[in-house]
Structure 1
Amino acid sequence: MFFAPAVRTARFVPRSLDRSFERFVNDALVSGAQRSLNVEQDDTSWTLTLDVPGLSRDDLSIGIEASVVRIESKADAKRQFKAAYELPQEIDAATSEAKLENGVLSLKLGKLAPVRNVHSLTIN
């Protein structure tokens, strides 16, 4: 097998191809605990459910930035956990909530309605 590295520039390779490759590699190398992600969707929210055994509420930190939710354990936790999930639409942090029961973390993330800035012009 022959491997030849290729130089990528933004002009020739779109960013979506790089992200697709990153997701492929991450899925191939991800541990079994992170594979237990379940995602459900309705008109107003997403519900993410994942297993985080051995972690308590105080051990976890959840951050929301635009359409990305980041979940990670704090440095002094018994077990280390780190994951980030990108959703297709921005998340409304005000209507989102998290619940941890018996090692199962459930996130209900509200969808942020896109703001339409359409202005009409009068024809003279």
Structure 2
Amino acid sequence: MFYSVATRPARSFQRSYPPVASNGALEKFLNDTFSSLPDAGAAKAATVEDLEKSYTLQLDVPGLAKDQLDIGIEGDVVRVASKAEAARSVKAAWRFPLEIDVANSSAKLENGVLTLTLGKKIPVSNVTRLDIQ
């Protein structure tokens, strides 16, 4: 027996369904369920604050020493990862709107909280004026 794939226009699959729960009960149930999973709290453990000349990133890394963490900055991407010999595994990355100025950035680890102060690299205009003859 031979089956062929039936192709239908995409508009035939677009249907609108009424909301399952109009009072938000489903959303509350799903949020409560997924927030109780072990890895679900990892994303909430970081906070980013956008200041005038820098970004501040705070990440909870309890049980890790500063020599067990590796911080990498490449353009506008910041990566934090634990080394292989660390007691627990941490791996996260963030992309920022502006590139990071590494010379004006610093990292501090206190009481299991890693605080990164990341300087913003303000773009410089390379516009050259051309005189009309």
Paired letter, 2:66: R
| Matched residue, 1:84 | 93
CA distance in 2, matches of 1:37, 1:118: 38
CA distance in 2, matches of 1:111, 1:80: 28
Gaps of 5+ in 1: 1-27
CA distance in 1, matches of 2:74, 2:40: 24
* Equivalent position SS for 2:72: strand
Match of 1:68 among 77, 86, 108: 77
Structure number with greater Rg is: 2
| Matched residue, 1:53 | 62
* Equivalent position SS for 2:67: helix
Moved over 2 A (4+): 28-31
Q: Which moved more, 1:92-101 or 1:28-37?
A: 28-37
Query: Where does 1:1-124 land on structure 2 (aligned, <5 Å)?
Result: 31-124=40-133
Report deviation, 1:42.
1.5
Report deviation, 1:31.
3.2
TM-score by length of 2: 0.69
The number of residue pairs the alignment matches comes to 97
TM-score by length of 1: 0.74
CA distance in 2, matches of 1:77, 1:104: 16
CA distance in 2, matches of 1:111, 1:75: 30
Paired letter, 2:57: L
Percent of aligned pairs with the same amino acid: 57
Gaps of 5+ in 2: 1-34
Report deviation, 1:38.
1.1
* Equivalent position SS for 2:45: coil
CA distance in 2, matches of 1:120, 1:67: 29
